[in-house]
Amino acid sequence: MKTLTNTSQIPVLVGPTGVGKSEVAYHLALQDGCEIISADAFQVYKGMEIGTAQPSPELQAKVKHHLVGIRKPKEAWNAVRFAESAKKIINEGQKAGQKFLIVGGAGFYIRALVEGPPVGGAPSPETRTMVMEKVGELGPEKAHEWLASRDAEAAKRLNPQDLRRVCRALEKTFETITVEVNYEPLGVDHVKFFGLERSRENLDKLLRRRTEAMWRDGLLTETESLMKLSLPIDHPALAAIGYAEASSYLRENMTQEEALERIFRRTRQYAKRQWTWFKHQHEVEWFNLDEYASLESLVQTLKEKLGE
């Protein structure tokens, strides 16, 4: 069977969180001799293995995963840094004939790698989520103080009770941070998008089970460690799904039942946003996991697609 060469299109496996991308990617990469590049906003951090559903050490020992658990939470990471790092990995690997499989649900990161960073566009989904969650946690007065520390003029114009405009103003302060771009985007002609999906009902069941498993397997311990790092108030990790709720629980601002339900609902909302993003931003060939009798049959189908 024909397989990818270093001049072929690079496959990009996308889809909503919890759908099963990591497992499918692992088996596909194992069969096709690929290395995996993680396009995720938080899997890059050490100490966040459980809350970000990082591939296990056992899986990583069999298939090389790039950009997973390599940075400390205090180190800056964004779409441009991801794209620069991923492009360097691809360039160096392809010289040796290595094949790659890009996997993730961070649409803004993937777009930066494929098309380049947007100029003067809307804030990234990660930034918007971080600001909204942090403002909700701080409350009107302290959120207004946060804005004043980043944009004093905007803070003077806005009423602290107008949280919608305070949020938009805060988002703009992150947009104005310029990052020097030192890479050439891959280009849409050099990638091939494959999407994984399930019925909403089945995905909801998986997300509930994953939420409970993360809580049981050590999310609280990871959160306690993050809280001890004295991260800046605007660090995205502090508002990341799971960690924000676990932090509220540890501070006794939320019961375990409330935290688990909120994690599930936020994850479900994020999954919907991911679906919408990938349905409208890229030309994606979709595969419904509910329609396959086994994971192996789906992997075989994808492998055949890669060889076309």
pLDDT on residue 276: 87
pLDDT on residue 5: 41
Tokens 């207004």 belong to: 144
| CATH number of the structural domain 10-117+179-306 | 3.40.50.300
What DSSP letter does each residue of 139-152 carry, written as one string? -HHHHHHHHHHH-H
Provide CATH 3.40.50.300 ranges for the chain. Answer: 10-117+179-306
Is the confidence at residue 243, as pLDDT, over 50? Answer: yes
Task: Average the pLDDT over 32-41 and give the result.
Answer: 95
Per-residue pLDDT tens over the stretch 135-148: 766 778 888 988 99
How confident is residue 29, by pLDDT bands cut at 50, 70 and 90? very high
164, with CB counted inside 10 A (0-12, 13-18, 19+), is exposed
Per-residue pLDDT tens over the stretch 91-119: 999 999 999 999 999 888 999 999 987 66
Is the confidence at residue 246, as pLDDT, over 60? Answer: yes
pLDDT on residue 2: 36
Is the confidence at residue 183, as pLDDT, over 50? Answer: yes
pLDDT on residue 125: 61
How confident is residue 207, by pLDDT bands cut at 50, 70 and 90? very high
Task: Say if CB 43 and CB 242 are below 8 A apart.
Answer: no
Contacts of 265 (CB under 8 A, 6+ apart): none
pLDDT on residue 120: 55
Is the confidence at residue 1, as pLDDT, over 50? Answer: no
DSSP 3-state of 294 = coil
pLDDT on residue 222: 96
pLDDT on residue 30: 95
Minimum mean pLDDT range among 154-163, 171-180, 247-256 = 171-180
Q: Are strands 10-14 and 99-103 parallel, antiparallel or unpaired?
A: parallel
Q: Report if pTM > 0.85.
A: no
Inter-helix orientation angle 200-217/219-227, to 10°: 60
Per-residue pLDDT tens over the stretch 63-76: 999 999 999 998 88
How confident is residue 133, by pLDDT bands cut at 50, 70 and 90? low
